[in-house]
Amino acid sequence: MTPFIASALLPLLRRIDAETAHDFSLWALRRGLAGHAPRFDDPVLATQVLGLSFSNPIGLAAGFDKNAVAVRALMNLGFGFVETGTVTPRPQAGNSKPRLYRLESDRAVINRMGFNNGGLEAYRRNLEGLSGRTAILGANVGINKDGANPERDYPMLIGAVGPLADYVAINVSSPNTPGLRDLQSEDRLRSILRAVAAVPNKPPILVKVAPDLTDEGLRAVVETAVAEGVQGLIVGNTTLSRPPGIVSRLIRKDGGLSGAPLLGLSTRMLARAFLYAEGRLVLIGAGGVFDANDAMLKIRAGASLVQLYTGFAYQGPVAIPRMKRQLAALLKNGGYSRVQDAVGCDARALAELR
């Protein structure tokens, strides 16, 4: 099956419950039913950041493959990198169902999943059994809802998954675990990162932040990350805000909003993070990316790499080769010979995006 055929089946999946459809998608991926995209990427898309070589800057965000069960199949779709997780020390069921809602008229999703995953042991087994990787692998780590000790748990998780991944992202920004976003405060984040610093032989470390931070909070996160030796930030997670213009009645549901309505908010925060970081951090732009124009917007705002999730869920595998082809054209038409040359070129203007 080709990515085009797999994507053509998406209207059928949208007739069933969103979480059931997601579970079926993972089942199909594990069995190779999503097909393979061409492995060749235009050289203009190649980029080197975090000490790693990416064949293209388009990645899959954490949350799609929480337990790392379909990594190879996802990489075969043409992503430059795939971020798995969020994984927690112990398995947990997450919040009660229903907890995932499609806002189709708005190209958006609301989720209150609550870090449902099979826990660290199962996650490690899946990564240990992974061979023949064709893209960069990220691991996203979080804490359990009950019995968590962040200064203990994050270093333990990084020590366990670090040898199996190319980078690790510390998730302190999901809105669906009580108290988690409080860990973005300057004092708590510094305490966690100092504990993480003691982990030996770890890969590059990034922190995933919420798009709902105040300017003061964002500045504090940037300075704390730099001071404590973090290599980058992922900007950002889902939002608890409800941007104007959303028409679906499901907007009243609790949880984090992702998808097209998040593009402006997340891009403005990304551009500001780029200006505050002054080249000291690598930034991954996430939030509202559906096509090459959105990806280019993130790059112009300061992202060296771009992630999507909701855009992939709505469009399917066909979106990735199309996005790469069109992004390569945008870069060339803009006079750029490589992705790095375009990073942050419009950050000052986009920092004021409304």
**CATH class of segment(s) 3-350:** alpha beta
Q: Would you say residue 8 has pLDDT above 50?
A: no
In the chain, domain spans: 3-350
pLDDT of residue 143: 94
Which tokens go with 36?
């393979």
Please give the C-alpha separations between residue 248 and each of 21, 72, 104, 262, 291, in angstroms, as whole numbers. Answer: 20, 35, 8, 15, 22
Rounded to a whole number, what is the distance in angstroms from the first to the last CA of the chain? 42
Which residue has better confidence, 25 or 173? Answer: 25
Closest Cα partner for 169 from 89, 268, 259, 84? 84
Q: What are 159-185's pLDDT values in tens digits? A: 999 999 999 999 988 887 887 887 888
The single residue of 25, 55, 173, 174 carrying the catalytic annotation is 174
Residue 241: active-site member:
no
Task: Report the sign of the C-alpha dihedral through residues 84, 87, 93, 94, in that order.
Answer: negative
**DSSP assignment string, 260-314:** GGGHHHHHHHHHHHHHHHTTSSEEEEESS--SHHHHHHHHHHT-SEEEESHHHHH
Q: Would you say residue 146 has pLDDT above 50?
A: yes
Peptide bond into 179 cis (omega under 30): no
Mean pLDDT score of the chain: 92
pLDDT of residue 62: 96
* 234 contacts 209 by C-beta, under 8 angstroms: yes
Compute the distance between CA of residue 17 and CA of residue 37 in angstroms, rounded to an integer: 28
Q: What's the rounded mean pLDDT across residues 186-204?
A: 94
Instruction: State what percent of residues in the chain have pLDDT above 90.
Output: 80
Edge to edge, what strands does the sheet with 108-111 contain? 100-103, 108-111, 256-259
pLDDT of residue 15: 61
Which tokens go with 111?
């989720």
279-306 burial, b for 16+ CB within 10 Å, e for fewer? eebbbbbbbbbbbbebbbbbbbbbbbbb
